[in-house]
Amino acid sequence: MTSPAGTYDELQAEIGRRFPTLSRQLQRIARFALERPQDVALDTVAAAATKVEVQPSAMVRFAQALGYDGYTDMQRVFRDRLVERSHSYRERIATMRKGPEAPTARPNAVLRDFVADSIANLSHLEEHVPEDRLREAVRLLARAPRIHLLAQRRAFPVACYLSYALAQLELPVTLMDGVGGMVRDQARTLGPEDVLVAISFRNYSPDVIEIASDCHRRGIPVIVITDSSVSPLYRSATVAFELGDPSDRPFRSLVEPICLAQSLVVSVGHELDAKARTPRPARTSGKRHGK
């Protein structure tokens, strides 16, 4: 039997890998663990179980399903993560929101609340975007014969921005907007060397999940922007960006995915510029001089 994950990143990947095989109850605990790792780190097993609305024994079974002896053994991984990220913007802002200036229904207070949350989310964006994945996504986009962009509902503005910005780089781009219910017909135009960028957050768009899965089966590279490694979109990814799932908030901020999208576009621009500056090898003429 292999050893259980020793770091949070390893544990996150293991949860994503095992998620489809877990029972519905353990899947609910898995989502809680990924969405609220601070609670897992600090709460007793009974307190965490109350928040998930399961029995404490279910929390222990979840830890054991991941190879740990018990909940406390797994909890150490979450506590180590918390120590590494102590005094983050999110904790500071959460403290501020509980104070006398906590937001009310006034428009300026609502704005202040969204600004605070956006700053907190952006402060953690780099943690969700490993450099190797960013480089691979840029490489795929820069070399693709055509880039297809797929998103629906609240994620759609991110695809719209990518469509506009990549087109400014004179790259061939298709925004799969599904006008007239034609999104599946648009998906049939993807060639084997094209790239699909699929964006969806919980609650996930069924069309996006199905089309991404079909492209994965066909061997077409899929760049995924989603919330976590237990997202159904994650399993279809050639390159995946998991931006976290702030399920305690009624609205998901688009600041993070837009910032990631802008980073991808600018990086692709640099890649194309570097390629254009690389001198091509001189061609040798077939003619002989002196004749």
Instruction: Name the band, by pLDDT with cuts 50, 70 and 90, for residue 87.
Output: very low
pLDDT recorded at residue 277: 80
Q: Identify whether residues 147 and 176 lie together within a single domain.
A: yes
The tokens of 208 are what?
Answer: 């996006």
Q: How many CB atoms lie within 10 A of CB 4?
A: 17
Q: Identify whether residues 48 and 184 lie together within a single domain.
A: no
Total length of the chain:
291
As separate numbers, helices (DSSP H) first and strands (DSSP E) second, the chain gives: 14, 5
Q: Identify whether residues 117 and 190 lie together within a single domain.
A: no
Least confident of 68-77, 104-113, 197-206, 215-224: 104-113
Percent of the chain with pLDDT over 70: 85
| Domain-embedded: residue 284 | no
| Domain-embedded: residue 288 | no
pLDDT recorded at residue 252: 74
Domain hosting 18: range is 8-84
pTM for this one?
Answer: 0.68
Q: Identify whether residues 156 and 269 lie together within a single domain.
A: yes
93 vs 227, which has greater pLDDT? 227
Q: Are 119 and 89 in contact (CB under 8 A)?
A: yes
Q: Identify whether residues 137 and 260 lie together within a single domain.
A: yes
The CATH number of the domain holding residue 179 is 3.40.50.10490
| Domain-embedded: residue 14 | yes
Render 119-184 in DSSP notation, one character per residue.
HHHHHTHHHHS-HHHHHHHHHHHHH-S-EEEEE-GGGHHHHHHHHHHHHHTT--EEE---GGG-HH
Q: Structurally, how many domains does the chain consist of? A: 3
Instruction: Name the band, by pLDDT with cuts 50, 70 and 90, for residue 133.
Output: very high
Q: Identify whether residues 175 and 264 lie together within a single domain.
A: yes
Q: Identify whether residues 23 and 105 lie together within a single domain.
A: no
Residue 83 has pLDDT above 90, yes or no: no
CA angle 154, 157, 163 (to 5 degrees): 145
Per-residue pLDDT tens digits for 140-166: 999 999 999 999 988 999 999 999 999
Q: Identify whether residues 98 and 146 lie together within a single domain.
A: no
Q: Exposure of 14 by Cβ count < 10 A (0-12 exposed, 13-18 middle, 19+ buried)?
A: middle
Q: Identify whether residues 200 and 58 lie together within a single domain.
A: no
Residue 239 has pLDDT above 90, yes or no: yes
The tokens of 96 are what?
Answer: 């501020």
Q: Identify whether residues 224 and 131 lie together within a single domain.
A: yes
Phi-psi domain of 289 (left: phi exceeds 0; alpha: psi -120 through 50; beta: other): beta
| Domain-embedded: residue 287 | no
Residue 225 pairs in a beta bridge with 199, 241
pLDDT recorded at residue 114: 75
